[in-house]
A and B are shown apart, each in its own frame.
Chain A
Amino acid sequence: MPTRILMPALSPTMEFGKLAKWLVKEGDAVSAGDIIAEIETDKASMEVEAVDEGVITQILVSEGAENIAVNTPIAVLAGDGEEAAVGPGAAPVQPAAGSVPPRDPAPPPHTTVASDPDIPSDAHFVEMTVREALRDAMAEEMRRDDTVFVMGEEVAEYQGAYKVTQGLLDEFGGTRVIDTPITEHGFAGLGVGAAFGGLRPIVEFMTFNFAMQAMDQIINSAAKTLYMSGGQMGCPIVFRGPNGAAARVGAQHSQDFSSWYAHVPGLRVIAPYSAADAKGLLKAAIRDPNPVVFLEHEILYGQSFEVPDLDDYVLPIGKARILREGGDVTLVAFSHGLTYTLAAADRLAETGISAEVIDLRTIRPMDTASVIASVKKTNRLVTVEEGWSVCGIGAEIAATVMGEAFDYLDAPVMRVSGKNVPMPYAANLEKLALPSVEDVVEAAKAVCYA
Chain B
Amino acid sequence: MAGAKKKGGSATKTGSASRSRPAGRKGKAAKSAPAAPAFSPEEELHAYREMLLIRRFEEKAGQMYGMGLIGGFCHLYIGQEAVVTGLKMAIEEGDQMITSYRDHGHMLVCGMDPKGVMAELTGRRGGYSKGKGGSMHMFSREKNFFGGHGIVGAQVPLGAGLAFANKYNDNGRITLTFFGEGALNQGQVYESFNMAALWKLPVVFVLENNRYAMGTSVTRSAAKSEELYNRGSIYGIPGEPVDGMDVRAVKDAGERAAKWTRDGNGPIILEMLTYRYRGHSMSDPAKYRTREEVQKMRAEHDPIEQVRTRILDAGLAGEDDLKTIDKEVRAKVSEAAEFAQADAEPDAAELWSDVLLEATAQGGN
Contact = CB atoms under 8 A, between A and B. Distances in A.
B355 A422 contact: yes
Contact of B132 (A154, A181, A184, A424): A424
Interface string B183-206: 101110000000000000000000
Given A158-B214, A179-B221, A421-B352, 19 more contacts: A154-B216, A182-B152, A182-B183, A182-B185, A182-B213, A185-B186, A186-B185, A212-B151, A248-B71, A249-B73, A251-B137, A424-B346, A425-B123, A426-B345, A427-B123, A427-B345, A428-B348, A429-B346, A429-B351
B173 interface: no
Contacts of A181: 182, 185, 216, 221-222
A426 B125 CA distance: 9
7 contacts: A158-B216, A182-B182, A212-B151, A248-B72, A253-B150, A422-B355, A428-B348
Interface in B303-354: 345-346, 348, 350-352
A172 B214 CA distance: 23
A126 interface: no
Interface in B115-148: 120, 123-125, 129-137
Interface residue SS majority, chain A: loop
B187 A186 contact: yes
Do most interface residues of chain B lie in helix, strand or loop, or is the interface mixed?
loop
Contacts of B125: 426
Contacts of B352: 419, 421
A433 B352 CA distance: 9
Interface of B: 71-73, 120, 123-125, 129-137, 149-153, 182-183, 185-187, 213-216, 220-222, 285, 287-288, 345-346, 348, 350-352, 355
A106 B227 CA distance: 59
Contact of B129 (A184, A186, A425, A433): A425
A247 interface: yes
A210 B131 contact: no
Contacts of B130: 426
B185 A429 contact: no
A426 B351 CA distance: 10
A158 B217 CA distance: 11
Contacts of B135: 250
Contacts of A378: none
A216 to B, nearest CB: 11
A213 B71 contact: no
A427 B124 CA distance: 9
Contacts of B123: 248, 425-427, 429
A301 to B, nearest CB: 14
A115 interface: no
Contacts of A210: 151-152
A433 B355 CA distance: 13
Contacts of B221: 179, 181-182
A254 to B, nearest CB: 9
A424 B216 CA distance: 30
Given A182-B182, A213-B151, A427-B71, A158 B132 contact: no
Given A153-B216, A185-B187, A429 B152 contact: no
A100 to B, nearest CB: 45
Contacts of A425: 71-72, 120, 123, 129, 131-134, 137
A209 B152 CA distance: 11
Contact of B151 (A161, A252, A429): A252
A174 to B, nearest CB: 11
A247 B282 CA distance: 14
Contacts of B183: 182
A183 interface: yes
B134 A248 contact: yes
Contact of B355 (A157, A183, A421): A421
Contacts of A186: 185, 187
B348 A432 contact: yes
Contact of A429 (B73, B131, B222): B131
A186 B132 CA distance: 32
A182 B156 CA distance: 14
Contacts of B129: 425
Nearest to B221: A181
B348 A429 contact: yes
A395 B133 CA distance: 29
Contacts of A252: 136-137, 149-151
Given A182-B182, A425-B123, A428-B346, A158 B288 contact: yes
Given A248-B123, A429-B350, A253 B215 contact: no
Nearest to A432: B351
A358 B91 CA distance: 60
Contacts of A247: 71-72
Contact of B351 (A183, A427, A433): A433
